[in-house]
A and B are shown apart, each in its own frame.
Chain A
Amino acid sequence: DIQMTQSPSTLSASVGDRVTITCRASQSISSWLAWYQQKPGKAPKLLIYKTSSLESGVPSRFSGSGSGTEFTLTISSLQPDDFATYYCQQSNSYSWTFGQGTKVEIK
């Protein structure tokens, strides 16, 4: 199986900060990467698919980039609603895997 490793595991930031989360794959996954946001007690929400395509209704402050084995999710200006846990997910093969999650906390 392809392993997905996110860094950092926890991130402390302030409103207005630019935030970057990295996701590394154990082998090349081309551009087949998605990002999700999850708040406590809620279902995950799709933010970005195919590395950089923004899901409908997701604010433009979220962006994704990368290819091969290294990918990033960037929040250009962190808002109060963005404090949550973020997961990457690969779909290169039919054994889909998620990263372990990055919790974005209030500094």
Chain B
Amino acid sequence: EVQLVESGGGLVQPGGSLRLSCAASGFTFSSYEMTWVRQAPGKGLEWVSYISSSGSTIYSADSVKGRFTISRDNAKNSLYLQMNNLRAEDTAVYSCVRVSATLFSYYFDYWGQGTLVTVSS
């Protein structure tokens, strides 16, 4: 059974940093691209950042570019999101998501339950 379990969320002051982690199990982690998706309270879904299976290719949304860094450790079956210079608008549940693809169609087939990040003074 595919499992994605996030950790590391919490309350942080504006300008602060947090590092989110995602422990993956139930599939060959090193074979899959991964991504982070966030959802602000009561709002819709927002894609945050993507990383290729090897970690060599990374893409991020403009809203987090230069502040958030996605990474992975395939030996530990883990995905990370380093978040710096946090803003109030970054307050959201952050979910670790597995990416699958068919030709050029990328879709998110397994989601973690998410970890809440609250940015407030």
Chain B residue nearest in CB terms to A101: B44
Contact bitstring A1-18, B, C-beta under 8 A = 1, else 0: 100000000000000000
> Are B44 and A49 interface neighbours, CB within 8 A?
no
> Are A46 and B44 interface neighbours, CB within 8 A?
no
Beyond A94-B50, A95-B61, whether A30 also contacts B107 by CB under 8 A is no
Range for the number of chain A residues in contact with chain B: 20 to 34
> Are B59 and A94 interface neighbours, CB within 8 A?
yes
B47 at the A interface (CB under 8 A)? yes
Determine the distance from Cα of A89 to Cα of B108 in the docked complex, in whole angstroms: 9
Shortest Cβ gap from B61 to chain A (Å):
7
Contact bitstring B37-67, A, C-beta under 8 A = 1, else 0: 0000000111100100000000101100000
Contact bitstring B55-89, A, C-beta under 8 A = 1, else 0: 00001011000000000000000000000000000
> Are B47 and A43 interface neighbours, CB within 8 A?
no
Q: Which residues of B contact A99 (CB under 8 A)?
A: 44
> Are B108 and A44 interface neighbours, CB within 8 A?
yes
Chain A residue nearest in CB terms to B110: A46
Contact bitstring A47-73, B, C-beta under 8 A = 1, else 0: 001100101000000000000000000
Determine the distance from Cα of A31 to Cα of B35 in the docked complex, in whole angstroms: 21
Determine the distance from Cα of A92 to Cα of B106 in the docked complex, in whole angstroms: 8
Q: Give the top 3 A-B pairs by smallest Cβ distance, nearest first.
A: A43-B111, A91-B106, A49-B107
16 more CB-based (< 8 A) A-B contacts, given A30-B104, A45-B111: A32-B105, A33-B105, A43-B95, A46-B108, A49-B105, A49-B109, A50-B103, A53-B102, A87-B44, A89-B107, A89-B108, A91-B104, A92-B104, A95-B62, A98-B45, A99-B44
25 inter-chain pairs at a CB distance below 8 angstroms, sorted by A residue, are: A31-B105, A32-B105, A32-B106, A33-B105, A34-B108, A36-B45, A42-B113, A43-B114, A44-B45, A46-B108, A49-B107, A49-B109, A50-B102, A50-B107, A55-B109, A91-B105, A91-B107, A92-B104, A95-B47, A95-B59, A96-B35, A97-B47, A98-B46, A98-B47, A101-B45
